[in-house]
Amino acid sequence: MNRTSIRRAALPGIAVLTLALTGCAAGNEASGDSGGGLSGTLNGGGSSAQEAAQGAWRAGFQTDNSGVTVNYDPVGSGTGRENFISGAYMFAGSDAALSEDGGELDKAKERCGGDVIEVPAYVSPIAVVYNLEGVDNLQLSAPVIGDIFSGKITKWNDPKIAADNPDADLPSTTITPVHRSDDSGTTENFTDYLSQASEGSWKYEADGVWPIKGGEAGDGTSGLVAAVKAGDGTIGYADESQVGDLGVASIKVGSDYNAPTAEGAAKALAASPRVEGRGDNDMAIEVDRTTTESGTYPISLTSYLIACPTYDDANDADMVKGYLSYIVSEDGQQAAADQAGSAPLESSLQQEAAKVVDQISAK
């Protein structure tokens, strides 16, 4: 079932996109196909934050590959990784890299028969969203956010929130934090930020599953956004491209308060190191959430594409390679930026990702 079907024939700005990477064409020639000769059904899923971008990518790719049906199921990053490992998906989208804890990375290697491909494909800020009558501009520091989501701050006029907002008329409304109910890469990135930057006000480690029992929750990005919209005094976190008309807080970075921007998220990513001990085709990045560099926005998600380097079926290999090659191409990255407001990969990361994807082949 295609749960994210395109609702119009062509999305603005992507109707005539071409599959630009020569590596993809070379892979198709090896199996006797041209760039537009692919056919079949390509099933993937995972990150709900990628949903809007996946719509743009599918529309652009299928323009030149009308014989391919791409299905992307936005079930959440954790379920996406599980379904990739089980073989239900040929590729997955995930807002967190495969974890070594619990053997997830080893299981993925077992499914692929070797090192797994993980390449960044979607870089976007995570917005701290709120619904508070009478407050249009909100500023929050990391320790205060940690106190709010751990339940230590319960009223919007708390002195700690007031200190971040000296010019705001804050009401005494009760704060209702909203978290994701599913295993979510957005949650893992948000809790990673709190763990690194909150100066101890958040006591939990990064985790895709919300670590505090109880409280209000929403399933997927859309479910969380709907829950925040439903009540006055609510606060949550979501991919910035999908927050609609909710209030969005500016986050303290150094001495400034920065609103979420794709450029700020990309700038924070470019300044961050790689995860150590990964394979040559694994581009997992350890985002530095404590940066004070001007213009950065450290609450961000780097969403990955996960795939195998080889597939049993040559046509499956060609479809995965073709689609992922388009996604990480300059055209694909710009399509996502136009449709979903994400940040195109920095040039050196984009070229590295393209080279990794170009290695996908049949066994």
Name the band, by pLDDT with cuts 50, 70 and 90, for residue 338. very high
Q: Which residue has the higher pLDDT, 60 or 28?
A: 60
How high is the pLDDT of residue 241? 85
Q: 32 pLDDT exceeds 70?
A: no
The pLDDT of residue 19 is 30
- CATH hierarchy code of domain 128-265: 3.40.190.10
**Quick one: pLDDT at residue 355?**
98
Closest by CA position to 160, among listed 143, 178, 135, 138: 143
The pLDDT of residue 36 is 59
- pLDDT value at position 301? 87
Band of pLDDT at residue 3, cut at 50, 70 and 90: very low
Full-model pTM = 0.75
The pLDDT assigned to 266 comes to 86
- Domain boundary assignment for the chain: 22-124+272-290+301-362, 128-265
Q: Please indicate whether residue 112 or residue 294 has the higher confidence score (pLDDT).
A: 112
Can you tell me the distance from the alpha carbon of 90 to that of 122, in angstroms, rounded to the nearest whole number? 18
pLDDT of 271 reads: 79
Please indicate whether the domains covering 22-124+272-290+301-362 and 128-265 agree at the CATH topology level: yes
pLDDT at 353 over 60: yes
Residue range 242-256, pLDDT digits in tens? 899 999 999 999 999
Q: How many residues does the chain have?
A: 363
Does the structure show a pLDDT above 90 at 269? Answer: no
Percent of the chain with pLDDT over 90: 80
What is the pLDDT averaged over residues 307-332? 98
Mean pLDDT value across residues 71-90: 96
CATH of 22-124+272-290+301-362, one of 2.60.40.10, 3.30.70.270, 3.40.190.10, 3.40.50.720: 3.40.190.10
What average pLDDT does range 47-59 have in this prediction? 94
